[in-house]
Each structure stands twice: as C-alpha cells, then as structure tokens.
Structure 1
Amino acid sequence: MRDAYIIGAGQTPFGSMPDRSYRSLFLTAFERAVESVPHGIDEDEIDEAVIGSLGVGGRQLGLSGPAATEHLGLHGIPSSRIENACAASGYSVRQAVQAVKSGMADVALAGGVEVMTDMSGDMTKYWLGVSGETEWERLTGTTFAGVYAQMASAYLDRYDATREHLSMVAVKNHANGAKNPNAHLGFECSLDDAMSAPDVAHPLNLYHCCPTSDGAAAVLVASEDVVDEYTEEPVRVAGVGASSERVGLFQREEYTTIASSRRAGETAYDRAGLGASDIDFAEVHDCFAIAELLAYEDLGFCDPGGAPQLLDDGVTDLDGDLPVNASGGLKSKGHPIGATGAGQIAEAFKQLRGKAGERQVEDPTYGLTHNVGGSGGAAVVHILEREVGR
C-alpha cells in the first residue's frame, strides 16, 4: 500500500463558544488546515471526507458528515460520520489514512466537531455517560468520572502512587496549556490548587478532570503520489493501530490498564517499525488524570506501576526526555468529544514542523497520538514522522 502523509491540519480554540454552530466551527478548523498547506489546496482536490462526532445534545445525529462538509463547499464527494465516543475523530483520521493508502483517494479530509456547553450539567452528564456501558453503568447512576475514579482507586491501591501524582499531571498540563492560545483552560495552577480542589468522584477532584468543550479540528491526508504537489515538509503517517475492548468497566479483568490502548500502541509500533523508546513526544488521552498515568504504561513508556516515577523525575515535562501533552492535553486544552483526536493530530503536526511556539518540543522526529473512547471501549494510536530532505 501507498504511504500516507499529513499535509495540513488546524483547529479552532477549544472552550465555550455559545455563538458558534457545529458547522461554523468545522469551517474554521478546515480553513486553518487549508492555510497550513504550504502550496495550498483547492476544495475540488479533496476526494473524501470523514467527520467524527458524538452528536452531543442530539444535533444532526443522521448525516452530520454531509451537513458539515456541505457547509465547506465540498459537494459530491463521499462524506461520512464516525461515532466512537471520545475517539471519534482519531478514528476518522485512521479512516482517511486507510482511504489514501488503499488508493481510493489521493487526498482525504478527516476531522471532528462537538458543541457541548449549551446544555445543563445534567444533560452533559447524560451525553458523556452514553460512552460507557448503558444497562449496568449509566442507568444505575454511574457517571463518567465515577468509572475513572474506580480505575484510580484500584491503581493507587495496587502501586506506589498517591493523589499527589494525579495532581502533578494537572500542574504539568496546565503549565503547557498556558502556552497554548487554543486551550480552554489556558492558565497555570499550583500543586496546592490541584490537591485542594473539591472532590468530583473520590479520589478524583476537580483538577483531575478535563472540561467539557466546544471545538473542531481538521486534518488533510495525501498519498505519496501527490504529496509533493502540496509541501516539501510533509509529515508521514508511520504507523496506525486501533483496538476495542469491553465497554463496561465491570466486564474487565483489570482496572489498572486499558487493553485497547495497549493493543493499539503495539500495532502502531509494529507497523512503524519502531518502539516506545523512539518516540520524541506524545499527546495522550488524559480525560482524567489517572488516564494519563495508565497511558504511560499502556504505551510502553514505562513498566506497570512506573508512571509515578516518570512524573517524579520530570520525564514527561515539556523540557523532559519524553514530553507528554505539550498542548495542555484534554485537561487544559479541552475535550470537545468529537474533535479531540483530530486536535491531537493537529498538535503533533505543528510540533513536527517546528511551529508550536513557546511549547515547542526540541527537534522531534517521531510523535505519537493516543485517543480513547469512553473508559477504553475503543482506542486509536497514530505515530507520525517528520521526513527530512524529501
């Protein structure tokens, strides 16, 4: 199969935007992706589009892909929607890569969009809850935070980890997000702030939980046959892995690992011909602080139980050996469900082209993105490579 390349990517700011619709948000993300293509691209050169969205609030659940792309002026091309909870647009990028690698498209648009802040708190809990198991979790009163709190409790009980380590994730990601003009919560916080916040679902407190956000992100994927028409600095999709898992937490054998993340990472490494030690930076799915600790381990950055030591040693800090969530992650950058995975790709694309400003990672070659649906019912991992001297 052909190689696939990211030639452009962009996103809106993430946050509360009551004056924006999902169509207008996605249009802005698309325009920013087009602007990032060095030689430019015309709409009629795009062969296919795949849009990720949960459809929070019930908006345009049917035909939301065509509804979004029609607003861009992309008429007549195949356009579809992927719903895989919080991993929706990570999977949309995977789908676009598949279309390009198979030869069905030379250029494909992937992305995602969500509007989440125009509902009551109770309705937001409902829409977050649909990403979990319905009969035995959501309908019996378990919240999304409650599911991850069970995972956090099991982890803290099993390993040499404390609530302070959860708070260290928040401090790190807020420090990074303060350097990101697109971040929803773009401010720094102290360890004391992150330790003393009100509980949401013990042991998780407010600073251990990401916000609900509005936003959109878009990614343009091109084949090796046409990539040179658009850029001399493409970002190659070196490897992609995806996996699913039992949706309900109660159905799993272990609470201290997400098997879908582990399998998706293993597949991506195998297809890229790389290992975890080759990765220069990562954007991981930190919907809750415990999720970042699990990601370190599931993606092979350390052994099981070793995540707290990475934090203690500053390995995952912006100036560490393996910066994680330079964007601020979901915790600070925000989490518009359908846009999150594509937003991670947009950040990795910017980092690999050396255009991330104050939060730029030093001279990266390989970046990894990790996008999880629900509490691990789905996961997708992309490994991106900066090609030198193409």
Structure 2
Amino acid sequence: MTASRQGYDGIVATVPVTIPYVRYSIESAHWWLGMALGALIRQAGIAKTHIDGMCVSSFTLAPDTAVGLTQHLGMSPRWLDHIPMGGASGVIGLRRAARAVQAGDADIVACLAGDTNHVDSFRHTVSQFSRFAQDGVYPYGAGGPNASFALLTRHYMNASGATREDFGKLCVAQRDNALRYPHALMKKPLTLQQYLDARAITEPIHLFDCVMPCAGADGFLVMREARARELGLPFVRILSTLERHNAWMDDPIQTRGGWTMDRDSFYAHAGVGPQDVDFMQAYDDYPVINLMQIEDLGFCDKGDAPQFVRDHSFTVDGSFPFNTNGGQLSVGQAGAAGGYLGMVEALRQLTGQAAGTQVSNAKIGLVSGFGMINYDRGICTAAALLARSDA
C-alpha cells in the first residue's frame, strides 16, 4: 500500500532564465551552466553564497558531474543532485529540489541544465548514450534517435491511424508559437505542405520531425514562498509531480509511458483534472511522443490523439495551447536543457512573464518530461502540475 503523499505547500519555483541558444559553440558546458547560474543570481537579487543547493543536468559536462561543476563555479552547496535523465530532468529537478527545501536540507536550490554543441558533439553524445544501444543496436547500424523514433512512429501510426498530416499540424502550430519567442532558432514560418515535402530522414521520419541539436542553458530557483515574497520575486506554486522509470517493461514496443501508472494519483494530489489545465508543455524531440503524452496524461483516450490533434489548434491564442514557446522542434535542443525548455516557459506563463507567447489568463499548466531513449522506448517519464500564485 502506498503511503499518502505530502503536498508542496509553501514551496515555490521562481526566476526562469534562458541563456540564448546558438547552433554551435566553442564554449564548454561548464560555461553555459555558469552563465545560467549568473543570470539566476542577478535576476533574484541575491549573492552566490545564498544558493546552498544545486540540481544539474548536462550531457557534455563529462568528465565532470555536478560535483566537479561546483569547483568550476566556486560553489559550496550543502545539497547537490546530478540528474542525467534527459527530457525528464526539468520536472525531476523541480521535484527533488522542492523536497530538499521542504525538508530544510537547502534554502535556495538552483536547478540548472545546459550543454554545448561543438561540430562533432552530437555524434559523440549518441555513441556514448546507452550501453544497451552500444551492445544491442549499433552493431546492426541502427544507432541514434532517428531510427528509434522511426520505429516508434511507424508502430503508433499503424496502431492509431495517425497520419503525417497529424504530426505536421503539431509541428506547424509549434512553429507559429516559436515565431513569438525570441530565443527560438527557427525563425521562418512553416506550412503543412513544407512539412510534408521535406526530405526523408528515416521513414516515416522527415526533416521537420527531428530536433536540431544546439548549445544553450536554462535554469530556475526553488525556495520557500516566504523567501520569494521577501525578495519580491513572482513565483509559481507546485500542485503535484510524478516520476516513473522503466515503466511497462514487458511491452514489446513502447505504446505508453510511465505517466499512465501514476496519472490518477497525480491529478488527485493536485486536486485538479485534465479539464482544468490551461496549457501543456511537453517534451517534443519527435512529434509521436507529443501524441503519446496527450493520451497518457488523460486529455483523450488511448489511440484518440490523432482526432484530438484534428480538433484543436495548439497555438498560443487558440485551443489547447501546447509548447507555447515552440518546443524543441522549433526552438532547438540544447542537450539536457531540452528537458528544461517547457519548465521555464511554464514558469513564465504562470508569472505573466511570457511576453509574446503569453496565454491569456493562464492559471494552471502541465509540464511533461520524457527522456533517455534506448532502441524501442524512453525509460524516464515525469510530469508536474503548476499553478499561478493566486490560483
């Protein structure tokens, strides 16, 4: 029997920062993470020594982990976590930082994610990503996420009746949102016809189904509400979170994620349902995982996401605002910061700081994370329900 979960009362997230993404960078991951830390300190109006906890996510920080980074940054935290969980890192960082502050193990936690992108960084990252893939997949020439997501996408299309037009509608809507977001690397409008005509990468994956690796960093702070008020910082309340790893391991190929194992308790803990969510930020390295998250988090029944896509616009000013800054497919994927992209956007939305991407009267947002893809599945899933301070 699972014990009842403690709430997050009095613990808040604040100060979303983004270090503008670039396609390639000669700087190290340490530099990008340091830039994010500096931005957090300046925007919060605090001293570096006031930050006594850190969560760090990065693929290109090696040979360092979060421990090595503390020396580079001149930090001496009393609580530290290294979260190498890719697209789930932002939610899991929030979740663990909140519990650390709640327990008194830290007063202010800086959650940081960032990566560099040298000309050959992505190939190196993919080659070292997973022992499972090295042993079981690469000898057959199927390395990298494109082949894995082609497998998942084709299987999903066969099972649900989804079409490339359905995936394309989401990509086009996200690009429309990205044109309102200053940090998006994709600056040109995208039409459905352009999406459909794009060159094939690994069928049925085509060019605009794939994220573009880049360099960048994102971050936010977690602290007590009283401290945020004392500092005059707009903040977001944490209603509920979940994380689940290696879910449904007996499924021959992934058709559902760990969200489905904990969804009911996730919403019950928050005291809200899917119908109360004003926007959704989903991890979106490929469109198929967007549809899976929409289903698995209860916005429609399993297999019905294609029709859900046909019924909604997904734009900032339309129905079911989704990846309101454009998501990774139009902003870029700055390595592990891809798992933070939706989180910092949600914090901006719920503190009225989203500028051109602002959803009118947004009170409750959902952030979903998905990470660490092996051959036929992603093994990390996470989600958070967040609320405006007065909601």
TM-score of the superposition, structure 2-length normalised? 0.89
Match for residue 39 of structure 2? 32
Distance 2:190 2:337 in 1: 25
Match for 2:251: what amino acid?
A: R
Give SS of 2:21's match: coil
Q: Structure 1 residues 118 and 130 mapped into 2: Cα distance closer, same or farther (>3 Å)?
A: farther
Q: Structure 1 residues 114 and 172 mapped into 2: Cα distance closer, same or farther (>3 Å)?
A: same
Q: Which runs of 5+ in 1 are unaligned?
A: none
Write out aligned runs for 1:1-390 (5 A). Answer: 2-37=9-44, 40-55=45-60, 59-62=61-64, 64-119=65-120, 122-127=123-128, 129-130=129-130, 133-142=133-142, 143-231=144-232, 233-245=234-246, 252-258=251-257, 260-263=258-261, 265-375=263-373, 376-388=378-390
Distance 2:156 2:34 in 1: 41
Give SS of 1:86's match: helix
Match for 2:386: what amino acid?
A: L
Give SS of 1:13's match: strand
- Residue by residue, what CA displacement relative to the aligned partner does 1:244-292 show, whole Å, maximum 9, x if unpaired? 12698xx52453322x133354443232122111111111011101111
Q: Structure 1 residues 99 and 140 mapped into 2: Cα distance closer, same or farther (>3 Å)?
A: farther
Give SS of 1:28's match: helix
Q: Structure 1 residues 334 and 261 mapped into 2: Cα distance closer, same or farther (>3 Å)?
A: farther
Distance 2:122 2:80 in 1: 32
Q: Structure 1 residues 368 and 355 mapped into 2: Cα distance closer, same or farther (>3 Å)?
A: same
Give SS of 2:20's match: coil
TM-score of the superposition, structure 1-length normalised? 0.89
C-alpha contact (below 8 Å) 2:186/2:331 kept by paired residues: yes
C-alpha contact (below 8 Å) 1:235/1:349 kept by paired residues: yes
Give SS of 2:136's match: coil
Match for 2:140: what amino acid?
A: T
- Residue by residue, what CA displacement relative to the aligned partner does 1:22-65 show, whole Å, maximum 9, x if unpaired? 1221122223333443xx2222222211101223xxx4333x31
Match for residue 3 of structure 2? none
Q: Sequence identity of aligned pairs in percent?
A: 25
C-alpha contact (below 8 Å) 2:29/2:116 kept by paired residues: yes
Structure 1: 4+ residue segments shifted above 6 A: none
Q: Structure 1 residues 330 and 261 mapped into 2: Cα distance closer, same or farther (>3 Å)?
A: farther
Q: Structure 1 residues 122 and 51 mapped into 2: Cα distance closer, same or farther (>3 Å)?
A: closer
C-alpha contact (below 8 Å) 2:240/2:270 kept by paired residues: yes
RMSD: 2.4
